[in-house]
Structure 1
Amino acid sequence: MPFQTIAGTSATYALLALDAAGNERSDDPDGIAGRMSERLLAQWQAAAPTDVFLWSHGWQGDLPAARIQYDRWIGAFARSAGDEQAMRARHPDFAIAHIGVHWPSQPWGDEELGDGASFAPLAGPGTQGAQAMIDAYAQRLGDTPQVRAALAVIFEAARTQADAVTLPDPVRQAYLQLDQALALGSEGPGGDAGADRLPFDPAASFAEANQLGAAFGGPVLGGLLAPLRQLSFWTMKKRGQTVGECGVFPLLNSIGDALPAARIHLMGHSFGAVVMSAALGGPGGTAALRRPAASCVLVQGAMSLWAYAPDIPVRPGTAGYCHHVLPDGKVSGPLVVTRSRHDSAVGTLYPWAAGVAGQVAFDATQASPTYPTFGAIGAFGIQGTDAATDAPMQPYDGNYAMTAGKVLNIEASEYICNGSGIAGAHNDIAGPEVAHLIWQAALA
């Protein structure tokens, strides 16, 4: 993939693309043979960076869409002149390199995304025709006969029974068959990224989606296609784990081997938090990372609040999938998490996707909050570990107290607050305050 230069800055980044299995792609559109990681490692032999920042988007579309996000995020980071001066004062030899990781995380096509938000409304099947939609979804979810057969029933019903007020039984059966074909699992809060949910109930999903749609002023979750959105959510979440474990994890080891003195910093947004957490854990969550990351910042993460818990309070005796990361010393600096009450993508849609849309709304800002069984770190922070503390987000020139090897949950509602529709402020993360937070983690 090509190198990108951000307009109005001197900042550049390498766009590194992985496929759904975490394999690095080599079909570079600029016509240069070889993989981007190989080009970077060769380049760094002549001029080695002291600090490498890896960025991962979440539920996003094609390469142009990924470029837009990385241009905004890394651009805001590059414009933080005071933070860069502080870094150079600490490390006079400071030399930076950025890598934007792109992975196929979008379960809906470009024509279905609207404004590009992570949870934009889904267009009806008549837009392209049922067969075209079957082809598109089969490619996204896994092109097997079982997947195609289930999709055929679902899209035909969506075409002919769009005004259904209950889920027809043949459609319910088709969704159950699709869920089985996707092999997502339903292990609850101790499961991996594709399994920390309740058993799939398509009829309940349909009914709850209608209630949510009414709350947001329209059928934003897709009517009869609402359960398909729910399954797509968990398929992409599971894929984020695969990409992190099988793609980014070996990349971290390769960079660490090639640059033994460099500091490696991670940033993940939305499902990108799954990618980066899985990269730290490695396959199975317990693989050896040859060098720890210097810092990790998870911005509005769409992953379980219990993922890092050694003993989940709502499921005693059960540990979160990522619970080895901190005690195994895989982050030498701080692990920083943002949460915002204005982010309805993780605050409202995440529990709906887990099958518990009707659960009580909890407020993480209370003095002694009681946390739900299913919730996202972007709404509640990382919970269930003594290594976590809380702090408010600071202005772009404020200071944080960050501790190496510990979690800092940042209450960011004052700054991550702009947005509308069903995603809310989920994508409002390109402000100087978020960029400053990432710099501060790298400086800690």
Structure 2
Amino acid sequence: MQFPYAEVEFRSTGATHDDAQRRAAVELVASSGATDVLVLCHGWNNDIPAARRLYQRLTDSLAAVRPAVPGAASRTLAVVGALWPSIRWSDEDEVAGGGVAVGDEAAALTGAIATRVEDPARAALLTGLVPRLTDSAEARQQFLDALREQLPPRPGPDATEPDATGVDEDPPPAALLHGDAETVFQAVGGPEVDFGLPERAGGAADTTAGGTADVVADGMADPAAGGAAGFGFDLDSVLAKARGVLNITTYYTMKDRAGKVGSGGIATLLPELARASGSGVRLHLAGHSFGARVLAAAAVRHPRLHSCTLLQGAFSHHGFAVDFNGRGENGLFRSLLADRQLTGPMLVTHTVNDRAVGLAYAAASRLARQAGAGLGDADDPYGGIGRNGALKTPEVVQPGVELLEVGGSYQFQPGRVFNLKADRFVSSHGDVTGRQVAYALYCAISS
């Protein structure tokens, strides 16, 4: 690590795992004399070494681009890494037809259960049902019911983020909570979503360039249409659908946990870090995937932040919105911008290449029966900020801004939101540690 660094681990409830870590982070910030403190938060994995590698790669890139950042030489940076028990969710192999060979679906589903279901008894139950899923509607219903037990209660205003003033923009669809298994399996594992990725020679999708999303229709096919167990797909596809159901329930479980960790543990840590170096220190937040939601939940509880950077955020593109649904309701984290808590900019990287976020929201839309020509994109009520940027948010700078090469000129402004279209430099959900991303982040820190 090329900057002064400390890390603080949090429990799933939001409580600090070890107060000694918290004290050490505060002492590090105080002793370093840093003018700026950057809090990093990972997402989508349950592996602390993987989170540390993410922080190492990103901070290495920050150090590499520092000479090119205007004003960086006059400021000093300390870094605090937050660690929390996130669960791995959709990866490239969750995209229909990708990553899993025909005949390997049972092993893939069993492996996914092992990494995503934390309760051993529930994991054993689900694993025991795998051999019966292709032939038994009863087994599919039991599989869904077992997963439902780990879902949080359906929220009104999100009780886990008490200082957020808006409403939850993407509660679990009613079908996920109450629908029959055949409907849920069919919806979550419906027709493939074409994310508009141009093909390379040989037919492989090129994830280094952007494209316009083009989506097949709504996916609520009639189970009576024939085929294995009424699905109309081969037997392996039923197991792929089961992985999709597991993935979408993991999404909503992690959404709830991210709120608890952010509004509980990290929101409590931020004022201590701010006081550690005196009144002149500036706080900056940068979160990836579910970590972006963690930090958004923390940010609305802290009265003074300089910058907030959301790297392929795994939450609603209406999270900061005004009247996102035509009923006068604002996004859950609207107060961060409305109350002018930012003395610097907010950055949001987004790309059509982020198929993990796109797939999760496509599944949610199918379950809400809102799928259509805009499935997963800016016109979808269920759409991700890492896919589309922050929408219906007055502070967004228009027209959109491209993520630039190192040395490019950003005109960041206090309290404004910059949706950074990252198609050229971010090839997937996890590709957030490159120098172009680090350069934009460091420009925000130094602005």
Measured against the shorter chain, the TM-score band is: 0.7 to 0.9
Residue 86 of structure 2, aligned match among 105, 111, 126? 105
- Corresponding position of 1:311: 323
TM-superposed CA distance for 1:397, in Å, is: 0.9
Structure 2 unaligned blocks of 5 or more: 159-165, 196-203, 205-235
In structure 1, what is the Cα distance between the partners aligned to 2:349 and 2:418?
A: 9
Residue 211 of structure 1, aligned match among 190, 194, 200? 190
In structure 2, what is the Cα distance between the partners aligned to 1:170 and 1:17?
A: 38
The answer as to whether partners of 2:157 and 2:167 remain within 8 angstroms in 1 is yes
- Corresponding position of 2:270: 252
In structure 1, what is the Cα distance between the partners aligned to 2:390 and 2:51?
A: 26
The answer as to whether partners of 1:73 and 1:430 remain within 8 angstroms in 2 is yes
The answer as to whether partners of 2:12 and 2:84 remain within 8 angstroms in 1 is yes
- Corresponding position of 1:35: 20
Distance 1:358 1:193, change over 3 A: closer
Tell me whether 1:22 sits opposite 2:14 in the alignment: yes
The answer as to whether partners of 2:6 and 2:24 remain within 8 angstroms in 1 is no
TM-score by length of 2: 0.76
Residue by residue, what CA displacement relative to the aligned partner does 1:104-134 show, whole Å, maximum 9, x if unpaired? 10157xxx989999x987986768989x968
Q: Matched residue of 2:71: which SS? A: helix
Runs (4+) of structure 1 exceeding 6 A deviation are 112-117, 119-130, 213-218
- Corresponding position of 1:410: 420
In structure 2, what is the Cα distance between the partners aligned to 1:432 and 1:25?
A: 32
More contact order relative to length (CA 8 Å, sep ≥ 6): 2
Residue 430 of structure 2, aligned match among 410, 427, 430? 427
Q: How many residues align?
A: 390
Tell me whether 1:336 sits opposite 2:347 in the alignment: yes
Letter paired with 2:168: D
TM-superposed CA distance for 1:242, in Å, is: 0.8
TM-superposed CA distance for 1:62, in Å, is: 1.5
In structure 2, what is the Cα distance between the partners aligned to 1:378 and 1:152?
A: 34
In structure 2, what is the Cα distance between the partners aligned to 1:274 and 1:428?
A: 18
Letter paired with 1:257: R
TM-superposed CA distance for 1:11, in Å, is: 3.5
Distance 1:18 1:385, change over 3 A: same
Q: Matched residue of 1:226: which SS? A: helix
Q: How does 1:1-400 map to 2 (within 5 A)?
A: 5=1, 10-26=2-18, 35-84=20-69, 86-88=71-73, 92=74, 94-107=75-88, 137-139=117-119, 148=121, 154-158=126-130, 160-164=131-135, 168-172=137-141, 175-176=144-145, 178-179=147-148, 182-185=151-154, 191-192=167-168, 195=171, 197-200=173-176, 201=179, 202-211=181-190, 222-259=240-277, 260-282=279-301, 289=302, 291-312=303-324, 314-353=325-364, 355=367, 359-362=371-374, 371-389=379-397, 390-400=400-410
Letter paired with 1:171: R
The answer as to whether partners of 1:299 and 1:378 remain within 8 angstroms in 2 is yes
The answer as to whether partners of 1:193 and 1:303 remain within 8 angstroms in 2 is no
In structure 1, what is the Cα distance between the partners aligned to 2:326 and 2:13?
A: 31
Q: Matched residue of 2:117: which SS? A: helix
Residue by residue, what CA displacement relative to the aligned partner does 1:188-229 show, whole Å, maximum 9, x if unpaired? 997538826454144334224443579799859744343222
In structure 1, what is the Cα distance between the partners aligned to 2:94 and 2:43?
A: 12
Residue by residue, what CA displacement relative to the aligned partner does 1:123-146 show, whole Å, maximum 9, x if unpaired? 86768989x96897243xxx8xxx
The answer as to whether partners of 1:54 and 1:101 remain within 8 angstroms in 2 is yes
TM-score by length of 1: 0.76
In structure 2, what is the Cα distance between the partners aligned to 1:380 and 1:23?
A: 32
The answer as to whether partners of 1:311 and 1:319 remain within 8 angstroms in 2 is yes
Q: CA RMSD in A?
A: 3.7
Q: Matched residue of 2:190: which SS? A: helix
The answer as to whether partners of 2:8 and 2:83 remain within 8 angstroms in 1 is yes
Letter paired with 2:355: S
The answer as to whether partners of 1:153 and 1:171 remain within 8 angstroms in 2 is no
TM-superposed CA distance for 1:49, in Å, is: 1.1
Q: Matched residue of 2:171: which SS? A: coil
The answer as to whether partners of 1:334 and 1:406 remain within 8 angstroms in 2 is yes
Structure 1 unaligned blocks of 5 or more: 27-33, 283-288, 418-424
